[in-house]
Amino acid sequence: MMPTESENKRFSFSTVIVLAVLLLVVLLTSVPYLVSIALAEGGAAADASPIFGVTIPPGYKQWELIAPAEEAAPLDELRAVVGNQIAIEAYQAGKLPFPDGTILVKRAWKRKQSPEFASATIPGAATTVQVMVKDSKKYASTGGWGFGRFANGKPVDEAQHRTCWGCHEARAKSRDYVFTRLAP
């Protein structure tokens, strides 16, 4: 016997419900998977420094200046060290060692002659971004500091990252391994 029209309607209505629930289940179960793919590709892993897993902190171009610096040839660069709020407060209070959460970023540029004024030197192309992150537990074996050097937004190789701690440890030990002083 053929189903009546109302039975037909009920059948298709419940089919729609079942399909909708199935679709919802599929979507919900795939969300964690999609998120993990996005994180692995877009963020952390690929853009983190070897050894330390340090990444370029978002918004660092808006951070406050600690001091500018110049590097002689062969690098021949202009530099500026900036810090997050924790860093700036520690500097202003003269606090050593720096507290956990401190982030210092050294920006660097090739020198360029001002097109308007010959004796003025201005920043040319950006060369590297260097980062130090304070986490006294995670980086206990390197004075509490994690290091990252980035060129074009990508971390440089592991060999370069092996040099960071040695130089900072040898020459800036009495200042919590940080060279830069707050500019007067």
Contact residues: ligand HEC, CB under 6 A: 69, 71, 79, 81, 104, 106, 130-132, 147-149, 160-161, 163-164, 167-168, 172, 178-180
Q: Which 8-state DSSP code applies to residue 152?
A: T
Minimum distance of ligand HEC from residue 153's CB (angstroms) = 15
Q: Which residues contact 129 (CB under 8 A, 6 or more apart)?
A: 56, 60, 105, 106, 107, 108, 149, 150, 153
Nearer to ligand HEC, 56 or 164 (CB): 164
Minimum distance of ligand HEC from residue 126's CB (angstroms) = 15
Q: Which residues contact 40 (CB under 8 A, 6 or more apart)?
A: 46
Nearer to ligand HEC, 35 or 141 (CB): 141
Minimum distance of ligand HEC from residue 66's CB (angstroms) = 8
Minimum distance of ligand HEC from residue 48's CB (angstroms) = 13
Residue 125 φ/ψ region, left for φ over 0, alpha for ψ in the -120 to 50 degree band, beta for the rest: beta
